[in-house]
Every structure is written in C-alpha cells, then in structure tokens.
Structure 1
Amino acid sequence: MTDHEPTVLELGLPAPVRSDGLPARVRIHEVGPRDGLQNESVALPVEVKAEFIARLAGAGLRTIEATSFVHPKWVPQLADAEELFPRLAGLPGEYPGLRLPVLVPNERGLDRALALGATDIAVFASATQTFAQRNLNRSVAESLEMFAPVVRRATEAGVAVRGYLSMCFGDPWEGPVPTDQVVAVGQALLEQGCTELSLGDTIGTGTPGQVEALLAAFAGAGIGPELLAVHFHDTYGQALANTLTALRCGVSVVDASAGGLGGCPYAKSATGNLATEDLLWMLQGLGIETGVDLAALAATSQWLAGRLGRPSPSRAVRALVGSG
C-alpha cells in the first residue's frame, strides 16, 4: 500500500471517444506569444520569448503568432518585434510547415513586417463602433479603409492575411452585438482579400446558442466554416462549450493561448484566452488529431509561468504538472 496519489500524467491522457459531426483534425492557431504576452504586466526578455516560441514549435504547434508590429507606445510588451523576429528565422527549417504570423495595424506595420521577411500577417478589426474607436481611434468604416491597402499590398507580395474580428458576441459599452453587424464587417474583410477570418468573443460573454446562430448567419451570407476560425475568451467559463459548438458547425481552426495567457489591453473586462492545454485535453478526448504533444506543451507553459512569476491559469496545466 502507498499513500501516493497518482498524478494525471501517471493515470494517462484522456481515452479518445469519437463523436459524430466533428472534424477529424483541428489546426490550433497559437496566440500566446502575441495575444498572451501583450497583456502581461511583466515584459519578458527577448531571449525568453524566442525560447518560448521554439518550445511551442517543439511541442508540435505549427501556427504560432509570434509578435506584433503595433507601435511600442501602445503595446510596450512587444516593443522588441524587430529584435525577436530574426531570431526565429531558423525555426521553419527545423519544423517543416511552421507558420509564424505577425499582427500589423497599418501600412507602417506592414512595412516593418515585410522588411523582416514575414510570410503571414494579421489585421485586427472590430465589429462595434465603440471598440473600433477605443482600439484603433477610427470608426469601423475608417478602419476597413485603413486595412484595404495593407491586405492588397500583402497579397501582392505573396503574404497570407488573416482577419481578426473582435467583439463578435458582446461589447462592454454596447452590449450584445447584432449578428448581421458582425457578418457585414467580416464579409468586408474577406472581400478585401483576407484568407481566414477569426471570430473573437473578446469579453467572453458568448454562449453556444450565439455561436451556432452567428455561424449560421455567415453560412447564409455564403461564407462557409472553411474560411472561419474561432477565438474564445473564458471570462464566464464558456470557451470550451463554445468551441465544441463551433466544431459541430464545421469550423476546424481554433485560436488558443498556451497556459491561458492574455486578455485584451483595451477591454478591461476581457480575461484570459482559452488555454491551449484545456483545448487539447478536450480534443484528445474526442479523438481529434492536432499534432500537438499535450504533456510537452503543459511543461512549456509551466516553464513560462516561472518566468512570469505566477502560476498558469490553465486548469489542464495545473492538473498535469502542478500549480507551483
């Protein structure tokens, strides 16, 4: 007999049980190095950021949003983009298929990203007027006008462009967001040339019924799930339920942040992103392929938590490797 209580790793990872109506494979769009770290009070050294991204790639993630070329005044935690990005140049050769997208706010940001050889970029739009003004200092229409030359120039340069659409379900100033309003802005981004549209529940108020209704509205506008990704925050504990609903609607790209890092610096009610490890636990339990090693990723998030000086908020990380 022993008093030792087995850990989750000793008990094993979840036994896969397939469920009808779900994709066989999901691509995880890892946003921890950008969306996660931009909201941390601690600005990590560039060496730690580079090692973090390398560890994420080593765990099997193949889309890792590396940094942002937003002006350092607005996001000082990512002010080292020009120093960080060249340090990652060898990773795609080491990990075939690895993509390292970066966020660009405007043409100046695009110029900086192209100068460093970025092959994937993202632009960040809002479905609501108030958040567009607070985040971009522009109306929704004005922000779309700003993105148009960014998307066009990037496309002409052979660079893939992802469109983020924030406040798709609720806005802290405007309340519930009308579905047709979200579809209209999302459609405009795709018509500009974005190859993928990520639908963000920025403050985490969305529920599965809203997710199903929004995806149905996009389908009604001729925009199928193959063009869409989902980006949920777990403010009210709905991120996994919302993700599962999106998967049942045909979406197969899910944004998540290693260790559950991040929020939104311009929406104080936005708490952490869906933790990549929590997502992986669910996907593995459903028998859905991701190519990611959950144990290796949890160890990476625990390592980063030590550099940030606080425990990881991810439930799966705490269960797998402890809370210390």
Structure 2
Amino acid sequence: MKVAVFSCKPYDKRTLEAATQNSSDVELFFFESRLSSETVSLANGFDAISCFVNDDLSRDILEQLSTFGIKAVALRCAGYNNVDLYCAKALAIPVFHVPDYSPTSVAEHAVALILTLNRKIHRAYHRVKEGNFALEGLMGFNLEGKTVGCIGTGRIGQAFCRIMAGFGCRVICYDLAPNDELIEYGAEYVDLETLYADSDIISLHCPLNASTHHLINKTSLDKMKNGVMIINTSRGALVNAQEAIDGLYNGKIGHLGLDVYEQEGKFFFEDMSDHIIYDSVFQLLLTFPNVIVTGHQGYFTDIALRHIADTTLENLAQLNDAPEHFLRELTNKH
C-alpha cells in the first residue's frame, strides 16, 4: 500500500519510519505540505493518505481524493473536526483516527500551563536571567482547596482530573456521559451553569462540534468567577478569542493558557520567526502578561509520537487484512 503522509515534520518521519521497519505492507511517502486544494493533487497515484490536525478534509477535497482512488484516510490525531465524515461515508472512504495516543501527555501539558500561569514561571525565568530577583508581581495561589472544572471527561479529561485531585483540588466535571471511575475517585459531575459559577480554574477537554463551538464566549464568561483561569489544550475554536480578550481587559479572566488557537492552521507547526503574523487577535493575545500560548505541543512527547505512528500503521493494515469492512472507526459512527 502506497501512502501519502501530509503535514509531515522531521519528527513524524522519524517515528513513522521506525514503525515501518518490520513491515513490508505499507510504503510511506512524506510531504511537509498540508493537505489543501492547492496540494491535493499530490495524493494522485496513492492508495491512502495520512493527515494531521490542520489538514483540509472538507467535501471538495474528499471528492477529489475519491477520484484519485484513495481508499482510506488515516488521521494521526484524536480529533476529527477537520473531516467531513458524512461525505467520507457517502464516498466509502474509511477514516481512522488515534483515539488514545497518550492521554497523560495532553493532561500534563494542561497542568504545566496552570502551574506556569499561577506561579508566573515564564516571567520569573526572564527576570532571573536579567539579574532581577525581586518577587513583587510574582505572587501565585495555592492549588490545594481550589475548585477545578473539567469540561469533557474522555481519556484526556480523566487523566487531567486525577492529576488535579492529587493537588488537593475539588474537581467538578461536565460531560454528556459521566464516568463512574472518576466519581469513585472523588470527582463530581455538575451542569455547565454550576461548573461556570463554582470553578476557579476551567480546563477544556471536549471535542469541537456544533454544540461546543465558541463554548467560551461572553455569555459563558459572565457566569464565571472574576479572575477565573481558563485552559484550552483541545481545539482552538472552543474559545471565542476576541471575547476572551474582552474578558482579560475587564478582569473576568485572570489567566488564560492556550495550546490551540482557532486560526492556528495559518502558522502553527511552522517557524514564523522571520515573518509577520497577519492575525491581529492572536498578536494582541501575546501582549498580555497573564496569557501563555504554546504551539499545539500538548501531545508532543516521545511516547505519544510512537503510539501515533504505531496506531496509524495498524489502522492502515486493517485495509489489507479486511478491505470489505470499509466503514471503520469514525465513519461507522456517522
């Protein structure tokens, strides 16, 4: 099977090549370009493609892939909001994802953002390098006893809740399907209104869909405590960035940690240090001392990359083993 791998960085290539050392069934061809209307022609002549979070798998792209004879799409991520699954199912193109690459990697990154924002590690680091050891302006708060709200308790959300419980926090959750193990662990499931009102820290671990798009907006912010900390390591469009900025200005948001951004596809995963980033909202976010933005690196650990590579190849192998079962993983749910 010949597979075109899009959005492939050097670290992706290394882990994927290592995973294919003992396999002769799959031959990978690597493209650093994102899949888009401009690059979709690169997929012509391949049997399948592998994509990442910001590749375009909308209807037009999928229809072109179908004309090329593409037999499958193997996502190297858990989220699939960039895929028109209904179109994929209609075209009989199976879509696979990696639902469990390393939940703790993203959960730990969310906690790292909380600790950095709270104890102002980013500011202290630069002060000390400049010989400034003054503590004024660096005061944080104890996590023990704080109420942490977790929206979404899938694998990542569960890992996050367990970590925060270890700090001595009261953990409250919202999810359409409560997890009994978390309840036994001491977490409480509440409605969104209660979570907004009671939480000192809110961390987002839910998928992006029509019901969660811009979940954090002026209306939801108005229901939260003044000075609330908001963490998003899930998908950028869960947060209305402009209304979050308004919340930063008026003090409703005391700290904001983002590993994702709604318009990140324009520049995330690239070295933009010699370029102007033409996004005034993003640039404004970077000016706040109580905001930290990282470039979608929550998943980026050695274990997670190896698991992504292994699972991607296992997903592709299913086509060789049982090609008649073409509606797999995601498409069989839609």
The two structures have a TM-score, normalised by structure 2, of 0.33
Larger Rg: 2
Higher RCO, Cα 8 Å, sep 6+: 1
- The structure carrying a bigger helix percent of its residues is 1
The two structures have a TM-score, normalised by structure 1, of 0.34
